[in-house]
Amino acid sequence: MRILDPAAAGTGGAPPGGGQQRTEADAARLQARIDQLEAHVQRLEQERVTLRWMAGHDALTGLANRRLFHALAPTLLRADGRSSAVLILDLNGFKPINDTYGHDAGDEVLCVIARRMGACLGDHLVARFGGDEFAALPSAPRPDAPEAWWHEIAASLSAAIAPPMDIAGRTLTVTASIGVVPAGHPADLPDLLRRADQAMFRAKRHARTTGKAGITWVVATEGGGRAVTYEPAATTAAPMGLTASAPAVPYRAGDPVWVHRDGMRRAGVVEGASEWAALVRYRCSDGAGTMVDTMPADCLAIRAEADPHLDPAPSET
Protein backbone atom coordinates (compact mmCIF):
# COMPACT_ATOMS: atom_id res chain seq x y z
CA MET A 1 0.00 0.00 0.00
CA ARG A 2 1.37 3.39 -1.01
CA ILE A 3 1.47 6.20 1.52
CA LEU A 4 0.39 9.47 -0.09
CA ASP A 5 1.62 12.98 0.59
CA PRO A 6 -0.73 15.00 2.81
CA ALA A 7 -1.38 17.42 -0.04
CA ALA A 8 -2.27 14.61 -2.38
CA ALA A 9 -4.51 12.99 0.20
CA GLY A 10 -6.49 16.21 0.60
CA THR A 11 -7.19 16.68 -3.11
CA GLY A 12 -7.85 13.11 -4.02
CA GLY A 13 -4.83 12.86 -6.29
CA ALA A 14 -1.17 13.86 -6.83
CA PRO A 15 -0.44 17.27 -8.31
CA PRO A 16 1.01 17.37 -11.82
CA GLY A 17 4.69 16.39 -11.64
CA GLY A 18 4.57 15.59 -7.88
CA GLY A 19 5.45 11.93 -8.33
CA GLN A 20 8.55 12.78 -10.36
CA GLN A 21 9.65 15.37 -7.79
CA ARG A 22 9.29 12.83 -4.98
CA THR A 23 11.27 10.23 -6.94
CA GLU A 24 14.12 12.67 -7.54
CA ALA A 25 14.20 13.68 -3.84
CA ASP A 26 14.28 10.02 -2.75
CA ALA A 27 17.09 9.34 -5.21
CA ALA A 28 19.08 12.31 -3.89
CA ARG A 29 18.66 11.14 -0.28
CA LEU A 30 19.65 7.60 -1.26
CA GLN A 31 22.76 8.82 -3.10
CA ALA A 32 23.74 10.96 -0.10
CA ARG A 33 23.45 7.90 2.14
CA ILE A 34 25.52 5.85 -0.29
CA ASP A 35 28.19 8.58 -0.32
CA GLN A 36 28.26 8.55 3.51
CA LEU A 37 28.69 4.77 3.57
CA GLU A 38 31.45 4.89 0.95
CA ALA A 39 33.33 7.58 2.92
CA HIS A 40 32.96 5.47 6.08
CA VAL A 41 34.31 2.40 4.27
CA GLN A 42 37.29 4.45 3.01
CA ARG A 43 38.06 5.64 6.55
CA LEU A 44 37.89 2.08 7.84
CA GLU A 45 40.20 0.93 5.05
CA GLN A 46 42.69 3.71 5.85
CA GLU A 47 42.60 2.73 9.54
CA ARG A 48 43.15 -0.92 8.57
CA VAL A 49 46.18 -0.01 6.44
CA THR A 50 47.57 2.21 9.22
CA LEU A 51 47.13 -0.47 11.88
CA ARG A 52 48.70 -3.09 9.63
CA TRP A 53 51.69 -0.79 9.01
CA MET A 54 52.04 -0.05 12.73
CA ALA A 55 52.02 -3.76 13.54
CA GLY A 56 55.13 -4.29 11.41
CA HIS A 57 57.06 -1.05 11.80
CA ASP A 58 58.88 0.92 14.45
CA ALA A 59 56.81 4.00 15.33
CA LEU A 60 59.86 6.23 15.93
CA THR A 61 62.11 5.47 12.96
CA GLY A 62 59.71 3.98 10.43
CA LEU A 63 61.95 0.94 9.97
CA ALA A 64 60.64 -2.60 10.12
CA ASN A 65 60.29 -3.91 13.66
CA ARG A 66 61.41 -7.25 15.07
CA ARG A 67 58.09 -8.91 14.19
CA LEU A 68 58.23 -7.92 10.52
CA PHE A 69 61.93 -8.83 10.29
CA HIS A 70 61.17 -12.36 11.51
CA ALA A 71 58.25 -12.58 9.05
CA LEU A 72 60.21 -11.45 5.97
CA ALA A 73 63.70 -12.80 6.64
CA PRO A 74 63.05 -16.54 5.98
CA THR A 75 61.72 -15.77 2.49
CA LEU A 76 64.58 -13.39 1.71
CA LEU A 77 67.14 -15.95 2.84
CA ARG A 78 65.84 -18.33 0.16
CA ALA A 79 65.38 -15.76 -2.60
CA ASP A 80 67.16 -15.74 -5.99
CA GLY A 81 69.81 -18.24 -4.97
CA ARG A 82 72.02 -15.34 -3.80
CA SER A 83 73.91 -15.55 -0.53
CA SER A 84 72.81 -13.35 2.35
CA ALA A 85 74.14 -12.22 5.71
CA VAL A 86 72.48 -11.40 9.02
CA LEU A 87 73.76 -8.23 10.62
CA ILE A 88 73.18 -6.98 14.19
CA LEU A 89 74.23 -3.40 15.02
CA ASP A 90 74.42 -1.63 18.37
CA LEU A 91 75.43 2.01 18.94
CA ASN A 92 78.49 2.98 20.99
CA GLY A 93 78.03 6.07 23.15
CA PHE A 94 74.25 6.31 22.86
CA LYS A 95 73.44 5.93 26.57
CA PRO A 96 75.47 8.99 27.71
CA ILE A 97 73.64 11.11 25.12
CA ASN A 98 70.30 9.86 26.41
CA ASP A 99 71.30 10.41 30.03
CA THR A 100 72.79 13.87 29.47
CA TYR A 101 70.45 15.50 26.93
CA GLY A 102 67.26 13.52 27.45
CA HIS A 103 65.17 11.09 25.43
CA ASP A 104 64.12 13.66 22.84
CA ALA A 105 67.76 14.08 21.78
CA GLY A 106 68.24 10.31 21.93
CA ASP A 107 65.20 9.76 19.73
CA GLU A 108 66.52 12.23 17.17
CA VAL A 109 69.86 10.40 17.12
CA LEU A 110 68.04 7.11 16.48
CA CYS A 111 66.09 8.68 13.60
CA VAL A 112 69.31 9.99 12.02
CA ILE A 113 70.92 6.54 12.34
CA ALA A 114 67.85 4.91 10.80
CA ARG A 115 68.01 7.26 7.80
CA ARG A 116 71.73 6.63 7.37
CA MET A 117 71.23 2.87 7.50
CA GLY A 118 68.40 3.05 4.97
CA ALA A 119 70.47 5.20 2.61
CA CYS A 120 73.49 2.89 2.92
CA LEU A 121 71.64 -0.43 2.58
CA GLY A 122 69.10 0.65 -0.03
CA ASP A 123 66.47 -2.02 -0.71
CA HIS A 124 67.87 -4.51 1.82
CA LEU A 125 65.73 -5.33 4.85
CA VAL A 126 66.59 -3.03 7.79
CA ALA A 127 64.88 -3.19 11.18
CA ARG A 128 65.04 -1.61 14.60
CA PHE A 129 64.84 -4.33 17.23
CA GLY A 130 64.51 -1.91 20.14
CA GLY A 131 66.56 0.68 22.02
CA ASP A 132 69.72 1.34 20.00
CA GLU A 133 69.84 -2.14 18.46
CA PHE A 134 69.25 -2.57 14.73
CA ALA A 135 69.30 -5.52 12.34
CA ALA A 136 69.69 -5.94 8.60
CA LEU A 137 69.62 -8.71 6.03
CA PRO A 138 71.78 -7.68 3.07
CA SER A 139 72.07 -9.93 0.03
CA ALA A 140 74.95 -10.38 -2.36
CA PRO A 141 74.80 -8.01 -5.36
CA ARG A 142 74.82 -10.96 -7.76
CA PRO A 143 74.80 -14.78 -7.60
CA ASP A 144 78.52 -15.05 -8.46
CA ALA A 145 79.65 -12.43 -5.91
CA PRO A 146 82.90 -13.13 -4.00
CA GLU A 147 82.57 -15.12 -0.79
CA ALA A 148 83.41 -12.09 1.35
CA TRP A 149 81.03 -9.68 -0.42
CA TRP A 150 79.52 -8.59 2.92
CA HIS A 151 82.85 -7.19 4.21
CA GLU A 152 82.36 -4.06 2.12
CA ILE A 153 78.73 -3.66 3.22
CA ALA A 154 79.64 -3.86 6.93
CA ALA A 155 82.50 -1.41 6.53
CA SER A 156 80.34 1.01 4.49
CA LEU A 157 77.61 0.87 7.12
CA SER A 158 80.07 1.59 9.92
CA ALA A 159 81.44 4.57 7.98
CA ALA A 160 77.93 5.87 7.22
CA ILE A 161 76.96 5.97 10.89
CA ALA A 162 80.13 7.59 12.26
CA PRO A 163 79.94 11.20 10.91
CA PRO A 164 78.96 13.89 13.46
CA MET A 165 75.32 14.98 13.54
CA ASP A 166 73.67 18.22 14.63
CA ILE A 167 71.17 17.47 17.40
CA ALA A 168 69.43 20.44 19.05
CA GLY A 169 72.34 22.73 18.23
CA ARG A 170 75.00 20.30 19.49
CA THR A 171 77.41 18.26 17.41
CA LEU A 172 77.11 14.65 18.57
CA THR A 173 78.80 11.47 17.38
CA VAL A 174 78.04 7.79 17.84
CA THR A 175 79.70 4.77 16.28
CA ALA A 176 78.50 1.24 15.63
CA SER A 177 79.48 -2.19 16.87
CA ILE A 178 78.45 -4.67 14.18
CA GLY A 179 78.16 -8.44 14.23
CA VAL A 180 77.82 -10.18 10.86
CA VAL A 181 77.07 -13.82 10.08
CA PRO A 182 76.99 -15.03 6.46
CA ALA A 183 73.93 -17.21 5.85
CA GLY A 184 74.25 -20.58 4.20
CA HIS A 185 71.53 -22.64 2.54
CA PRO A 186 69.39 -23.77 4.24
CA ALA A 187 69.60 -21.03 6.88
CA ASP A 188 68.24 -21.18 10.41
CA LEU A 189 67.21 -17.61 11.26
CA PRO A 190 67.17 -17.94 15.09
CA ASP A 191 70.67 -19.43 15.05
CA LEU A 192 71.95 -16.73 12.69
CA LEU A 193 70.53 -13.99 14.92
CA ARG A 194 72.03 -15.58 18.04
CA ARG A 195 75.49 -15.81 16.47
CA ALA A 196 75.29 -12.29 15.02
CA ASP A 197 74.29 -10.99 18.46
CA GLN A 198 77.29 -12.73 20.04
CA ALA A 199 79.55 -11.26 17.38
CA MET A 200 78.12 -7.79 18.01
CA PHE A 201 78.88 -8.00 21.73
CA ARG A 202 82.46 -9.00 20.93
CA ALA A 203 82.70 -5.98 18.66
CA LYS A 204 81.31 -3.81 21.45
CA ARG A 205 83.95 -5.11 23.86
CA HIS A 206 86.54 -4.38 21.18
CA ALA A 207 85.27 -0.78 21.01
CA ARG A 208 85.44 -0.42 24.80
CA THR A 209 88.97 -1.69 25.11
CA THR A 210 90.49 0.03 22.09
CA GLY A 211 88.37 3.14 21.58
CA LYS A 212 87.62 2.07 17.99
CA ALA A 213 84.30 1.02 16.51
CA GLY A 214 84.43 -2.73 16.08
CA ILE A 215 83.09 -4.94 13.34
CA THR A 216 83.14 -8.63 14.25
CA TRP A 217 83.00 -10.95 11.27
CA VAL A 218 82.25 -14.62 11.64
CA VAL A 219 85.05 -16.78 10.20
CA ALA A 220 86.88 -13.65 9.09
CA THR A 221 90.44 -12.49 9.51
CA GLU A 222 91.56 -9.32 11.19
CA GLY A 223 91.89 -6.36 8.86
CA GLY A 224 92.60 -2.71 9.13
CA GLY A 225 92.45 -2.73 12.93
CA ARG A 226 88.65 -2.74 12.68
CA ALA A 227 87.73 -6.42 12.69
CA VAL A 228 88.38 -9.23 15.13
CA THR A 229 88.01 -12.94 14.47
CA TYR A 230 84.97 -14.72 15.86
CA GLU A 231 84.82 -18.48 15.51
CA PRO A 232 81.33 -20.01 16.07
CA ALA A 233 82.85 -23.06 17.73
CA ALA A 234 84.71 -20.94 20.31
CA THR A 235 81.98 -18.75 21.76
CA THR A 236 83.64 -18.50 25.18
CA ALA A 237 87.11 -17.50 23.98
CA ALA A 238 88.13 -13.86 24.04
CA PRO A 239 89.05 -12.25 20.69
CA MET A 240 92.74 -12.19 19.90
CA GLY A 241 94.67 -9.54 21.79
CA LEU A 242 91.64 -8.30 23.75
CA THR A 243 90.95 -8.40 27.47
CA ALA A 244 87.66 -9.55 28.89
CA SER A 245 86.77 -6.20 30.45
CA ALA A 246 87.83 -2.59 30.78
CA PRO A 247 87.87 -0.29 33.78
CA ALA A 248 84.81 1.82 34.43
CA VAL A 249 84.97 5.49 33.48
CA PRO A 250 86.20 7.42 36.58
CA TYR A 251 84.92 10.78 35.35
CA ARG A 252 82.00 12.95 36.37
CA ALA A 253 80.15 15.80 34.70
CA GLY A 254 82.22 18.99 34.76
CA ASP A 255 85.63 17.30 34.97
CA PRO A 256 88.27 19.06 32.80
CA VAL A 257 90.06 16.52 30.60
CA TRP A 258 92.49 16.14 27.75
CA VAL A 259 91.06 14.32 24.75
CA HIS A 260 93.58 12.23 22.78
CA ARG A 261 92.37 11.82 19.21
CA ASP A 262 94.11 11.36 15.87
CA GLY A 263 97.53 11.94 17.43
CA MET A 264 96.43 15.28 18.91
CA ARG A 265 95.63 16.46 22.43
CA ARG A 266 92.67 18.80 22.80
CA ALA A 267 91.12 20.42 25.85
CA GLY A 268 87.70 19.13 26.82
CA VAL A 269 85.16 18.91 29.63
CA VAL A 270 83.01 15.92 30.60
CA GLU A 271 79.28 16.50 30.15
CA GLY A 272 78.14 13.04 31.23
CA ALA A 273 79.48 9.57 31.93
CA SER A 274 78.23 6.02 32.09
CA GLU A 275 79.92 2.77 33.02
CA TRP A 276 82.12 2.50 29.93
CA ALA A 277 82.07 5.85 28.20
CA ALA A 278 82.12 9.60 28.78
CA LEU A 279 80.32 12.27 26.80
CA VAL A 280 82.89 15.06 26.28
CA ARG A 281 82.72 18.54 24.76
CA TYR A 282 86.14 19.39 23.37
CA ARG A 283 87.98 21.83 21.13
CA CYS A 284 87.93 21.20 17.39
CA SER A 285 91.26 20.46 15.72
CA ASP A 286 91.43 23.93 14.16
CA GLY A 287 90.49 25.62 17.44
CA ALA A 288 87.30 27.08 15.94
CA GLY A 289 84.48 25.96 18.21
CA THR A 290 83.75 22.73 20.02
CA MET A 291 82.10 19.41 19.33
CA VAL A 292 80.56 16.70 21.50
CA ASP A 293 81.58 13.07 21.23
CA THR A 294 81.44 9.83 23.21
CA MET A 295 84.70 8.05 23.95
CA PRO A 296 86.21 5.40 26.24
CA ALA A 297 88.29 6.24 29.30
CA ASP A 298 91.64 5.43 27.71
CA CYS A 299 91.18 8.38 25.33
CA LEU A 300 90.98 10.83 28.26
CA ALA A 301 93.29 12.26 30.89
CA ILE A 302 92.71 14.73 33.72
CA ARG A 303 93.48 18.31 32.64
CA ALA A 304 95.00 20.74 35.15
CA GLU A 305 95.52 23.63 32.74
CA ALA A 306 92.56 25.97 32.36
CA ASP A 307 90.93 26.64 28.99
CA PRO A 308 89.16 30.01 28.60
CA HIS A 309 86.64 28.62 26.09
CA LEU A 310 85.62 25.60 28.15
CA ASP A 311 86.16 26.33 31.84
CA PRO A 312 84.11 28.84 33.84
CA ALA A 313 85.99 31.87 35.07
CA PRO A 314 86.99 31.61 38.74
CA SER A 315 84.60 33.50 41.00
CA GLU A 316 85.83 36.76 42.43
CA THR A 317 86.38 36.81 46.17
**Active site amino acids:** 132
Nearest CA to 176 out of 273, 88, 104 is that of 88
90 phi and psi angles, rounded to 5 deg: -130, 140
DSSP string, 100-163: HH-HHHHHHHHHHHHHHHHHHHTTSEEEEEETTEEEEE-B-SSTT--TTHHHHHHHHHHHHH-S
Cα of 251 vs its chain's centroid, Å? 28
Q: How far apart are CA 117 and CA 272, in angstroms?
A: 27
The CA-atom distances, in angstroms, between 287 and each of 6, 45, 76, 265 are 93, 57, 49, 12
How long is the chain? 317
Give residue 258's region: left, alpha or beta (phi > 0; psi -120 to 50): beta
The two beta strands, 215-218 and 227-230, are parallel
